[in-house]
Chain A
Amino acid sequence: MAQDLTGGPGRRATPHPGRAARSSPHRHRSGAADPSHGTESGDPLTSGRKATASGPGSSERKMTPMRIRTLVLVTAATAILTGCTGKSESGGGDGATPRAGGTLTFATDTDPGCLDPHQSPAAAALLTGRGVVDSLVAQDPRTGDVVPWLAESWKTDERATTYTFTLRGDATFSDGAPVDGAAVKANLDRIVAPATKSLLAAGFLAGYAGTTVTADRTVEVRFSQPNAGFLQAATTAFLGIQSPGSFAAGPAATCRKIVGSGPFTVSDYVPQQRVTLARRTGYRWAPRTAAHQGDAFLEKVVLTIAPDNGVRSGSLRSRQVDAAGNVTPRDAVALGEAGFDVHRREQAGIAYSLFINGAKAPWTDAALRQAVAHAVDRAQVVKTLYQDQYARATSVLTPTTPGYRASETTTSAAEAKRLLDAAGWRAGSDGIRAKDGQRLTLRWTYVSPAREQRDLLAQLVQQQLRAVGVEVLLDPAPAGDVIRRQTTGDWQMGDISFLRADADVLRTVLQSSAGGRPPIVNDPTLAAALAEGAGTLDPEVRKTSYAQAQQRIAEQALAIPVYNPTYLLATGDQVRAATFDAQGLPQFYDTWLDH
């Protein structure tokens, strides 16, 4: 259910049925949907509701690279429509004009720790930082297209080693400094500087050879090796352009306060408690993916940090906050029933998937891995653990990731047993299969404490695999330990999900043997396909190579996708245009309050 929530006022792009923005099956307010003060209509909710959805994975998806087309998003409606009580939305509510003003209180689960996305790898830093810093380019949450933002145009060479950006020139930072070529250079140079201690952003600049300011408004970014992923990475706040004037105070100072050219400024940050964003006046350079131009509607956004799930949903229920982020599937169902709006957005990137270390016998045999893939009943997992609020994965990439292509393995215990029988593994007295005196076991090392009930998921999968005669030994370990084992290759079964709106994520997470780490997935055919995709910006080549890669992963059971991690946002009915950015996180620029 590729939920896309970009419906809003004056959106330029044509609305399509997939934009099932409001997904609460029990929404009480009727006819008062997202604001649309522009000419384009299409209440995303209504259109979403009316959409006849095809089942995930059932439809032929037409795609161009960097773009997810309508059909994929149509699947969005499926899970949403399931359980719809039939309360129809009458009228589009298109007449609602966004109103400026008011404070949005938003309960979020994680303290960013450091607000600076150049330094911090946390999604929490993106949530707070996106409204404060603009990027060179923007990514359309609906299509995955890269569009102009601070840069009005750009060009690259064939090998994706040189990027030339022409800046729009009229943008300024909130401290008054202009967003010029020198500022862009200062930002990129700063990200790779060791003193910045960048934990993620620097990784996007792999092979960075420098930036040259060729004219006041033109910069040339050079890489010593092809870096096709850079353009998409440049759309994220991780590579957002901050005011160079703020760098002088050192990285610790920007952890507390970032200064950008965005529609909001950081007015207050109390660690572990709240981040307050204040509207900046005179903002005139929103990307065209935004629903409106000009200043933000909200005067203030107060992000209150509430790590406890029950407290976030309880605070929303008792109207102490306007919105609660990252609510659990169970809370989402309950809040939906209580009349709150629940918005879903599948995160782009690698779906939550299981990985079996193919370098270790007997799991070098693809047939054994395929047997496991057939035995894992994903539909049962999402139904039992996630109340169908998350969709079952249909590929190693989630449908919101540009380059996604459905490549599902059917769930069939019979097929799993057949494969295991054929490979010579026979069930012993306790039901566990063995061959030559060796039991068929998998030691599953996963991070504890687990999020999204992944510990329970492990137990469920353990039962499912036991039913076909595979023994799973659960091995919960602290995050540091899990990472250490991955780094040394000392693991047999693991799980990963990864947020990034670019198919190149497959290479960087599963393949890259940087740091001397053995790749999570070691397969020359896959490596070739991924290298081809990473070495070019040609949409057709990328499309083909990533389709091949996903096909290969499914065929060889190099990954066993389980579910699509989904951001669940619940809001009171006064909150309008609660939409998501391409990374799948709530944005605040277009949001407004209807009191």
Chain B
Amino acid sequence: MSWIRRGDRGGIRSTMVRRRLFSAVTVLIGVVTVAFAVVHLIPGDPVQTMLGAGGAFVDPAQEAALRHELRLDGPLHEQYFAFLASAAQGDFGTSFQTGEPVTQMIAEAAPASLSLAGAALLLGALIGTGIAVLSRLTNSRLLASALAVLPVLAMSLPAYWVAALLLQFFSFRLGLVPALGGTGIRGLVLPALTMSLPTAGVVAQVLASGLRAAERESYVLMARAKGATRSRVVLRHMLRNTALPVITLTGTTVGSLLGAAVVTETIFGRPGLGRLIISALNAHDYPVIQGVAAVLGATMILISLLVDVLFTYLDPRVISTAVWR
């Protein structure tokens, strides 16, 4: 705190970021290696699967030619090192299915997924905060207990069910939003809402218990003593102090968001990384699976790094502990 000078704080922060980035590279190599191993563990041979999906007209020459064309005829360790070498340069090869560069396919699918995940995170944080704050402010017991149950419900409802319900009501019955192919904000509302619920549940639960605990804090007593209104105490003082664990948790829900994206993108017919990886898995499209896995891994690493950096701004105490690392 005060015994760390302002300039030092920036230095410590950049050291921390540098260290974390270094370990991120190691983790990333681990991630792509696991991705490589996993795709090769999927039962079935990609060449046979690709040709077998179309029919049984496979002649050995055709199979061998395709195997060579896809560079699957070399020994596994050679394939691995070739993969690692090109991955290091940001090249994940070309898709078995379409022959397009994997990076290009990811670049095309990523914006849709990012906007969906971003909207879902935002919506989840807003809904969760709303529930938690309301449960602190309300005087109605009934509402308070309802608000306590809501987060559990939000977290446990399966995405496909929520999606179907939302579509049935808002799209098929009321016709407010398009069910399919919606672009822009209108098309984003229902899928983002579907995906936001688990985040909303987590945020609401953690924040509500944080707020409950903060009631006994001395700064709350102080604020009250000074005559601040209840809403002012909650919104101005308590919320800011209890937000920290929520931010960490929101960061960790990004992983589950990407999982939910597979379901949500499929039901709402949206393009995105979830759809990309599902179709790649079905077709044994190794390069695409590896590429998407690497990008998702990198995203997770980046997000946890961002959360850590954000922490140093929100809670200066983090810097002080960072000094001793």
Contacts and interface: CB of A to CB of B under 8 A. Distances in A.
A and B assemble together: yes
A548 interface: no
Contacts of B272: 272
Interface stretch (A127-135, A300-308, A528-536): A300-308
A246 to B, nearest CB: 14
A204 B58 CA distance: 10
Interface string B226-241: 0000000000000000
Interface string A466-502: 0000000000011111111011000000000010100
A531 to B, nearest CB: 16
A498 B94 CA distance: 29
Interface stretch (A27-35, A277-285, A317-325, A383-391): A317-325
A61 interface: no
Interface in B60-74: 60, 62-63, 65-66, 68-70
Given A251-B99, A480-B48, A484-B48, A311 B268 contact: yes
B266 A308 contact: yes
B44 interface: yes
Given A203-B55, A271-B108, A508-B56, A483 B269 contact: no
B267 A311 contact: yes
A409 B100 CA distance: 49
A153 interface: no
B55 A121 contact: yes
Contacts of A478: 42-44
Interface string B280-294: 001110000000000
A121 B53 contact: yes
B168 to A, nearest CB: 7
A314 interface: yes
B43 A481 contact: yes
Nearest to A509: B56
A270 B271 contact: yes
Contacts of B265: 272
A517 B59 CA distance: 10
Interface stretch (A193-201, A340-348, A537-545, A577-585): A193-201
Contact of A272 (B63, B97, B270): B270
A311 B52 contact: no
A250 interface: yes
B173 interface: yes
Interface in A185-218: 194-195, 197, 199-200, 202-204, 206
B276 interface: yes
A371 interface: no
A512 B57 contact: yes
A310 interface: yes
Interface centre among B42, B60, B271 (most CB of A within 10 A): B271
A252 B43 contact: no
B167 A311 contact: yes
A111 interface: yes
Contacts of A200: 54-55, 57
A500 B55 CA distance: 10
Nearest to B173: A318
Contact of A307 (B96, B101, B269): B269
A194 B98 CA distance: 14
B180 interface: yes
A138 interface: no
A481 B284 CA distance: 11
Contacts of B69: 194-195, 197
B15 interface: no
B305 interface: no
A317 B164 CA distance: 14
B109 interface: yes
A272 B57 contact: no
Contact of A314 (B48, B171, B266, B271): B171
B50 interface: yes
Contact of B178 (A256, A274, A320, A509): A320
Interface residues of A, number: 60
Interface in A263-318: 270-274, 304-308, 310-311, 314-315, 317-318
A202 B62 contact: yes
B259 interface: no
A199 B50 contact: yes
A248 interface: no
A514 B168 CA distance: 49
Contacts of A114: 97-98
A310 B167 CA distance: 10
Contacts of A255: 97-100
Contacts of A204: 57
Given A251-B99, A517-B56, A317 B172 contact: yes
Contacts of B100: 252, 255-256
A160 to B, nearest CB: 16
A508 B57 contact: yes
Nearest to B168: A314
Chain A CB within 10 Å, residue with most, of B42, B108, B172: B172
A515 B267 contact: no
A512 to B, nearest CB: 6
A310 B98 contact: no
A434 B100 CA distance: 55
A195 B94 CA distance: 13
B46 interface: yes
Interface in B27-62: 42-46, 48-60, 62
Contact of A479 (B44, B98, B276): B44
Contact of A250 (B99, B108, B282, B284): B99
Nearest to A201: B54
B58 A480 contact: no
Interface in A236-267: 250-252, 255-256
Nearest to A229: B57
Given A194-B66, A255-B98, A255-B100, A516 B60 contact: yes
A273 B266 contact: no
Contacts of A306: 179-180, 269
A329 to B, nearest CB: 19
A514 B57 contact: yes
A376 to B, nearest CB: 23
Contacts of A111: 275, 279
A203 B62 contact: yes
A204 B57 CA distance: 7
Contacts of A483: 44-45, 48-49, 52-53
Nearest to B99: A252
A256 B69 CA distance: 20
Contacts of A150: none
A272 B44 contact: no
B68 A194 contact: yes
A250 B54 CA distance: 22
A110 to B, nearest CB: 9
B270 A515 contact: no
A514 B59 contact: yes
A219 to B, nearest CB: 23
A113 interface: yes
B179 A314 contact: yes
Contact of B181 (A256, A274, A516): A274
A225 to B, nearest CB: 11
B44 to A, nearest CB: 2
A548 to B, nearest CB: 21
A196 to B, nearest CB: 9
A308 B180 CA distance: 10
A113 B269 CA distance: 14
Contacts of B175: 318, 320
Contacts of B268: 311
Contacts of A479: 44, 49, 52-53, 282
Nearest to B43: A481
12 contacts: A113-B283, A119-B99, A206-B57, A272-B109, A273-B271, A310-B164, A315-B180, A479-B282, A483-B52, A484-B44, A508-B57, A512-B57
The 3 closest A-B pairs by CB, nearest first: A480-B44, A121-B54, A203-B57
Given A120-B97, A272-B279, A307-B269, 7 more contacts: A113-B97, A113-B283, A197-B69, A200-B55, A271-B108, A314-B172, A514-B59
